[in-house]
Amino acid sequence: MNFLDTSRQVTVLGAGMVGVSCALALQAKGWQVTLVDKRGPGEETSAGNAGVLSRSSLLPFNRPGLWQTLPRMLLKPGPSLQVRPSALAHWRFMWRFLWHARRQSFEATTVALDGLIQLSAQTHKTWLAQTAQQHRLRENGWLWLFQNEAAWAGSAFSREVLQEFSVATAVLRGAEIQSLEPHLSSQFQHALWIQDAASVDNPAEVVKAYADRFLKLGGVFRHSDVRALQQQPQGWQWQDASGAPHWTPNLVLAMGPWSESLLQASQLPSQFKAHMAFERGYHRHFKPVGGVHLQRPVYDTAGAYVLSPMVNAQGEPVLRMTTGVELAGRDAAPNTAQLEAAENAVRRAISLKEAVAGSDWMGSRPTTPDSRPVIGEMPQCPGLWLAFGHQHIGFSTGPGTGVLLAELMAGESTSINSAPFSPMRFS
């Protein structure tokens, strides 16, 4: 690249799994990339998740039948969904989210997400090898657990869709479950073993390893709290907390749950509004004792938690319990009711000692009304590219997002259909 040629310079805001993936994929195409975050890489939502990479995640929460089940869920809130008063500010999101439970929209979303998930799975494998992190990847699937016949029957629709997409699964009954996971109690009558799935044992370390590779290959990382964006005659200006301006010819906004509020604060000349909301979730760690452990993540459909075998920052094995959805304002105070309920359910499923002190964590799954991330150039704002809104699956779909975004920015034909992710749909 010519030293004075700025056309291939880009700044990526946000160093979660999505931003780091965009930075790596753009760098691979010859861009000179600066990655900006107010924290270190992978220290927010991308750190605390369940680490599941599964083709079954093509199923969004808003699906046909939601209109029928929702009144019951709202009248008798359970561990899978809690709605807090602060979520009411997101009434536009809620209305649109329900609208996208229509069959037509659901089908478009499942096809789109399946493409992104598969592209991401290949890319994760390549990058895990390039960063010598393959040992973190387990390719032995994950288990959905059902306590009784009624719960199993209730999953028929999901199982049919997985079959339509040829997602490899196996049905386990009674003792077959313990032969796969010997430490689970016998309370589960049925299980669906999603075999087209993998998981990692420390999501934060994976993001950090990808970010380290980006730096080794010449990328630049900058600590800054980004407060506003401004369009310039040639390119973009972003302002940090001290008010200092920074210029860049091209900008990628990948700040996960903080992305849309930055756009709102910046008052840009665009009709774009994703109406994103925050599906908050919590985690808590338990030290496995007496040899009690799991081989793969398990999802207890009644307790609405995922329990994943992980390795903590000190390299010790832990079981990470992540909770269902709490619809609330992103910055509202944490409410640990869901964590306590999930812990009670976990203790019926597996024998555990005390939780690890200080391990509680909260994060926000950034969700758009159609459950598809926004990937592409912002309408009426040339040079400003968007990559956010990855709801429950941003850890797994970050790499595919990076690849797709880099192809779009290079004006190339894309590995998967980009239209379902286009920001134009919210303009």
Ligand X SMILES: Cc1cc2nc3c(=O)[nH]c(=O)nc-3n(C[C@H](O)[C@H](O)[C@H](O)COP(=O)(O)OP(=O)(O)OC[C@H]3O[C@@H](n4cnc5c(N)ncnc54)[C@H](O)[C@@H]3O)c2cc1C
Cα 352 from Cα 309, distance rounded (Å):
13
Cα 321 from Cα 339, distance rounded (Å):
9
User: What letter would DSSP give residue 189?
Assistant: -
- The edge-to-edge listing of strands for the beta sheet with 52-54 is 52-54, 197-200, 137-138
Instruction: Tell me the chain's radius of gyration from C-alpha atoms.
Output: 21
Bridge partners, 33 (sequence order) = 10
Q: Is there a contact between 169 and 162 (Cβ–Cβ < 8 Å)? A: yes
Q: Smallest distance from the beta carbon of 22 to ligand X, in angstroms?
A: 9
Token pair belonging to 372: 């598809």
* By CB under 6 A, residue 281 contacts ligand X: yes
Total number of residues binding ligand X (CB under 6 A)? 38
* By CB under 6 A, residue 141 contacts ligand X: no
* By CB under 6 A, residue 300 contacts ligand X: no
**Conformational region of residue 10, where left means phi above 0, alpha means psi within -120 to 50, and beta covers everything else:** beta
* By CB under 6 A, residue 392 contacts ligand X: yes
* By CB under 6 A, residue 201 contacts ligand X: no
- Which candidate, 232, 260, 204, places its Cα nearest to that of 13? 260
* By CB under 6 A, residue 60 contacts ligand X: no
* By CB under 6 A, residue 50 contacts ligand X: yes
Q: Exactly one of 60, 256, 303, 379 binds ligand X (CB under 6 A); which one? A: 256
In degrees, rounded to 5, the angle at the alpha carbon of residue 323 between the alpha carbons of residues 66 and 327 is: 50
Q: Helix (H, G, I), strand (E, B), or coil: what is residue 226?
A: strand
Q: Smallest distance from the beta carbon of 195 to ligand X, in angstroms?
A: 17
* By CB under 6 A, residue 18 contacts ligand X: yes
Q: Smallest distance from the beta carbon of 11 to ligand X, in angstroms?
A: 11
* By CB under 6 A, residue 19 contacts ligand X: yes
Q: Exactly one of 235, 309, 394, 400 binds ligand X (CB under 6 A); which one? A: 394
Q: Which amino acid is at 329?
A: G
Token pair belonging to 183: 């430490």
Closest to ligand X by CB, 176 or 340? 340
Q: Smallest distance from the beta carbon of 420 to ligand X, in angstroms?
A: 17
> For 181-316, where are the E strands, in sequence order?
190-194, 197-200, 220-223, 226-232, 235-240, 245-248, 250-253, 277-286, 298-300, 305-311
Q: Exactly one of 12, 16, 22, 414 binds ligand X (CB under 6 A); which one? A: 16
* By CB under 6 A, residue 59 contacts ligand X: no
Q: Is there a contact between 254 and 14 (Cβ–Cβ < 8 Å)? A: yes
Q: Exactly one of 5, 7, 30, 39 binds ligand X (CB under 6 A); which one? A: 39
Closest to ligand X by CB, 135 or 223? 223
Stretch of 30-38, 128-136, 153-161, 214-222 lying at the interface with ligand X (CB under 6 A): 30-38
Here the contacts of 411-418 (C-beta below 8 Å, separation 24 or greater) are 415/119, 416/112, 416/115, 416/116, 416/119, 417/112, 417/115, 418/375, 418/376
Stretch of 106-114, 326-334, 392-400, 408-416 lying at the interface with ligand X (CB under 6 A): 392-400
Q: Exactly one of 49, 56, 118, 338 binds ligand X (CB under 6 A); which one? A: 49
* By CB under 6 A, residue 395 contacts ligand X: yes
Stretch of 83-91, 97-105, 250-258, 335-343 lying at the interface with ligand X (CB under 6 A): 250-258
* By CB under 6 A, residue 121 contacts ligand X: no
* By CB under 6 A, residue 172 contacts ligand X: no
Cα 427 from Cα 380, distance rounded (Å):
10
* By CB under 6 A, residue 258 contacts ligand X: yes
Q: Smallest distance from the beta carbon of 413 to ligand X, in angstroms?
A: 25
- Residues of this chain that interact with ligand X (CB under 6 A) are 13-19, 36-39, 43-46, 49-52, 225-226, 254-258, 281, 283, 322, 363, 365, 388, 390, 392-396
